[in-house]
Amino acid sequence: MAAGGNIFNAMLQEFDGAARLLGLDPGIWKILTHPKRQITVSCPIQMDNGQIEVFTGYRVQYNITLGPAKGGIRYHPDVSLDEVTALAAWMTWKCAVAHIPFGGGKGGIICDPTQMSRRELEALTRRYVAEIVDAIGPDKDVPAPDVNTNDQIMAWIMDTYSMHVGYTATAVVTGKPIEMGGSLGRREATGRGVMITTREAAKHLKFDIKGATVAVQGFGNVGSVSADLLTKIGARVIAVTDWKGGVYNKAGLDITKMIDFAKQHKTIDGFPGGEPLENNDLFKLDVDVLVPAALENQITMENAPTIKAKVIAEGANGPTTPDAHKHLHDRGVFVIPDILANAGGVTTSYFEWVQDRHGYFWEEEEVNKRLEAKMMEAFDDVLQTSIRYKTDLRTAAYIVAINRVATVTRMRGMYA
C-alpha cells in the first residue's frame, strides 16, 4: 500500500505546491500540515481456536475545522499510521472540495480479514469501537466503509456505539444497510461521481463521451460502478483488470455480465467476454479514458510514460505518485484528481448523515440529483481555479480545499 514510499509526504508535496500558489499564511500552513489527533489502540480478541490475539487499530482525525471528522475504516495487513494519517488528510481536502461540512478522518486495523471468520471480524470490530468510542459520534467523527469493510461492519459499529451511549445513534456511521438508516444510492455514489467528472472532462476537452474508449483498473465497488455507468452514457469499456487478472475486448466488454461473473468468482480473471490482459499492460492501451480504481501508487514513473489516455479519472485514493502526475500533466494528460473524482462517496455519505439526523429519507432519484449538482459544482470550481491559476487540476483542487479550510480557520481564530 505505502509501496516503498511515505504517502503522508506525498500528500504534503501536493499540499505545498497549492499552498505556495495561494500565498498561504505560514501559521495556517503549520496548522493544516499537522493532524489534530492520532489514536492508536490495542484490540485483544479471542480467536475461534481459543487463543488471544492483539490487533493494532488506528483512528486519525486530521482536521475538524469545517465539521465532524469523516472517513472510512480499512482492514488490511499493510495498514500503518502513516497511511491512515495521509488518507485522513486527503479526506479533509476531499470534503472541502465537495463543499460539505465535514473535516477529515480515517481509521484502520492491521489484520488480514480474508483469514478471519465472521465471528472474529465482529469481535474485532466491536472491540475497536469500544476502544475509540469517546472519540467518535455524529457530531465528532463519522466512520464509513473502506478497503475490506462493508455495510455489515458499519452495522456492528453503529450497534456497539449505540450500546455504549444508551440509545440508537444511526448517524454515527455511514455506508450502513438501507434497513438501518443507510441512504439509497450510497453504494454507487463513488463510481457515479467518477462518471460525472469524466463526462464533464470530455465536454471541456471537446470529445464525445459516446463511443469513447475506457480502461478500468480495479473491479471492486468503485471500478465496477464506474465502468457500468460510463457504459450507460455511451462510453465503450474495452479493458478491465483486478487483483488476479484482466480482460480486453476492442469491441467493448459486457459490463453487466462481468459484474455477475465477479460476484460469482470474486475476480474477473477468466471472464469469457475477451482476451486475457495483464495489469501492467492495461496502462499501455490506447484509450480515451483511464480509471485507476485499485490502491495507492499504481501510476508511477515506471509506467506513466506508456500511458496514452487523454483523461485519467482517479477512482482510487492516491493512485498516482507526484512525479508521475507531473510527467502526465507536462504531456497534456487531463488528470481528474482523487479528491475530486471520487468525492461522490463522501458527498452521499453526507446525505446519509443528514437523512439520519432528520429521520427523513429521500428517494434514490433525489439522492442522485443532489449528487449530480454537488459534483458538477465541485468540478466547475476546480476547473475555473485551474484556469485562473494556470495550473493542473490536482493543484487547483488543493487550492479550492485549502482556501476553504484556511478561511474558516482564520475566522474561528486561535483558541488559547
Q: Which residues pair with 142 in a beta bridge?
A: 70
C-alpha cell recorded at residue 272 = 469469457
Which residues have CB under 8 Å from 345's CB, separation 6+? Answer: 144, 186, 189, 190, 193, 222
Cα angle 384-389-391, degrees, rounded to a multiple of 5: 90
Catalytic residue status for 106 = yes
Cα angle 236-395-78, degrees, rounded to a multiple of 5: 75
- Of the residues 36, 70, 94, 106, which is catalytic? 106
Q: Which helix (H) or strand (E) holds 71?
A: strand 69-76
Which residues have CB under 8 Å from 70's CB, separation 6+? Answer: 91, 95, 102, 103, 104, 105, 141, 142, 144, 346, 349, 350
Encode 267-288: b = buried (16+ Cβ within 10 Å), e = exposed: ebbebebbeebebebbbebebb
| Helix 393-412 / helix 364-389 crossing angle, nearest 10 deg | 100
Which residues have CB under 8 Å from 360's CB, separation 6+? Answer: none
* Distance of alpha carbon 381 from alpha carbon 184, whole angstroms: 27
Using the structure block, give the residue that is written with the C-alpha cell 467518477: 194
Widest Cα–Cα separation across the chain: 64
- One DSSP character per residue, 217-246 reads E--SHHHHHHHHHHHHTT-EEEEEE-SS-E
* Distance of alpha carbon 337 from alpha carbon 397, whole angstroms: 8
C-alpha cell recorded at residue 241 = 483488470
Other C-beta atoms closer than 10 Å to the C-beta of 415 total 4
Secondary structure of 194-223 in HEC code, one letter for each residue: HHHHHHHHHHHHCCCCCCCEEEEECCCHHH
* Distance of alpha carbon 388 from alpha carbon 54, whole angstroms: 52
Which residues have CB under 8 Å from 10's CB, separation 6+? Answer: 86, 318, 321, 322
Instruction: Tell me which residue of 107, 98, 114 sits closest to 146, measured CA to CA.
Output: 107
- Residues with catalytic roles: 106
